[in-house]
Amino acid sequence: MRTNGKITEIFSSVQGEGIYFGEEQIFVRFFGCNLNCKYCDTSLNYFTEYTPEELLHEIKLYKNASSTVSFTGGEPLLQKYFLKAALKLTRKEGFKNYLETNGILYSALEDILDYVDIVAMDMKLPSSTGHKDLWHHHQRFLEIASKKETFLKMVICKDTTEEDLRAGLKLIEEVNKFLVLVLQPNSFEADEPSSEKLESFKDIAKKCGITTCVIPQLHKKIGVK
């Protein structure tokens, strides 16, 4: 199915989150999200429509900056037909495809996984996001994603509960305990977790045998996009 994509912005910068933090990447921010996390700081107020070929043309303008394209959002998997066409083109052009996702739309992931190199998957803890729990969706998603290089990210806020952390860890243990987990402190000052809480969460994860690191949002710390 041919469809245009709704894209909010395209730019190059350093990756500010997860285990590839600090790496220069080309970012394609997809318009639209299926969640409304209470800590969300992504502004998705506008979009421009592109065909997959037009998007590739824009991406190639940044070719000197990086050979990795981060498909981010919003939630890129909401536009799976366009995403798949774009991934095929970037792959053919020699780019590495990095998918940032909230880890819910598992059927869409299955359809595009062949063209993805790295999956950066969020695990949404209800006490962090203010949503109902999404464990079932996350489990199905992770089972599919872990066929490729995958790491997980949990945003930890002041109110995040140990119970939610343990539920997430249990799920990771059941699917693939060798995946790396990043605990990302919420950067809004009023909702920032204490360093004691982060240490204690890291210890709990370590005791479950899951490799875990605490990584704040680098781009905010160094003041880039």
194 binds ligand SF4 per the rule CB under 6 A: no
- Complex with ligand SF4: residue 26 or 105, whichever CB lies closer: 105
Q: Which of 52, 74, 168, 193 binds ligand SF4 (CB under 6 A)?
A: 74
Nearer to ligand SF4 by Cβ, of 29 and 197: the residue is: 29
73 is a site residue for ligand SF4 (CB under 6 A): yes
Task: Enter the DSSP assignment of 194.
Answer: P
Considering the complex, what minimum distance in angstroms separates the CB of residue 200 from ligand SF4? 24
- Under a CB-based contact definition with an 8 Å cutoff, are residues 32 and 79 in contact? yes
- Exactly one of 12, 25, 102, 212 binds ligand SF4 (CB under 6 A); which one? 102
DSSP 77: G
Instruction: Tell me how many degrees the CA angle 146-86-4 measures, rounded to the nearest 5.
Output: 125
Between CA 42 and CA 31 the distance in angstroms is 10
In the window 26-55, what residues touch ligand SF4 (CB under 6 A)? 33, 35-37, 40, 42
DSSP code at position 133: P
Give the total of residues touching ligand SF4 (CB under 6 A): 10
Question: Which are the contacts of 17, defined by CB distance < 8 A and separation ≥ 6?
Answer: 100, 120, 153, 182, 184, 215, 217, 218, 219
Distance CA 28, CA 118 (A): 15
> Is residue 167 close enough to count as binding ligand SF4 by CB under 6 A?
no
- Name the residues that contact ligand SF4, by CB under 6 A: 33, 35-37, 40, 42, 73-75, 102
